[in-house]
């Protein structure tokens, strides 16, 4: 299947808004996630991505934009805003709404982002009292398929 035929996720709860999702840099974690969702036939692929203009949630200037977008949404949204819910807040309906709203407002001003990137602390601490979690990962949502430069089979052994 050509890269341009990949269908972006458009769920209300997508963690980084709409896009084609990838894990960085953990192919084992990505495979486990896929198997939990789709069973033993699931697999993981690797991609080479050029981030292009990245809405990087590890950048303070971007997170300050999200704060402003959230405040705007509070004022213009009819009814209560959705909430992040589910076990360990895995359904990120509020985050998805705020990110998509922010990116849509920026696009209206002629500023378009190709990718969205964020870090997520998940899982149990790696040892008692640790600030590190066993399933911490970075996710990437590609909004512009032209940023996906290639596909490869990752090494899934540790």
Per the rule left: phi > 0, alpha: psi between -120 and 50, beta: everything else, 146 is alpha
Q: Please report which residue ranges of 16-92 form alpha helices under DSSP H.
A: 27-38, 60-76
The first and second tokens of residue 125, run together, are: 């601490």
HSE-CB for 48 with a 13 A CA cutoff? 4
pTM over cut 0.85: yes
Q: Identify the CA nearest to 18 among candidates 77, 89, 99.
A: 99
The answer, yes or no, to whether residue 94 has pLDDT greater than 90, is yes
The answer, yes or no, to whether residue 74 has pLDDT greater than 80, is yes
pLDDT per residue as tens digits for the range 18-54: 999 998 878 888 888 889 989 999 988 899 999 999 9
Cross-strand pairs, 9: 19
Q: Supply the pLDDT for residue 27.
A: 85
pLDDT per residue as tens digits for the range 112-158: 999 999 998 888 999 999 999 988 889 999 999 999 999 999 887 65
Higher pLDDT, 110 or 43: 110
Q: Supply the pLDDT for residue 17.
A: 95
């Amino acid at each position: 299947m050509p890269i341009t035929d990949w269908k972006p996720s458009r769920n209300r709860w997508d963690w980084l808004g709409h896009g084609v999702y990838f894990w960085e840099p953990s192919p084992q974690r990505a495979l486990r996630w896929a198997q939990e969702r789709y069973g033993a036939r699931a697999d993981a692929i690797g991609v080479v991505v050029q981030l292009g203009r990245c809405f990087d949630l590890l950048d303070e200037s971007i997170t300050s934009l999200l704060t402003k977008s959230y405040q705007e949404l509070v004022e213009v949204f009819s009814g209560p805003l959705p909430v992040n819910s589910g076990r360990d807040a895995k359904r990120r309906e509020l985050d998805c709404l705020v990110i998509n709203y922010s990116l849509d407002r920026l696009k209206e001003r002629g500023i378009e982002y190709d990718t969205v990137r964020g870090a997520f602390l998940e899982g149990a601490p790696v040892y008692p009292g640790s600030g590190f979690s066993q399933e911490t990962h970075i996710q990437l949502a590609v909004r512009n398929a032209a940023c996906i430069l290639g596909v490869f089979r990752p090494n899934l052994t540790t």
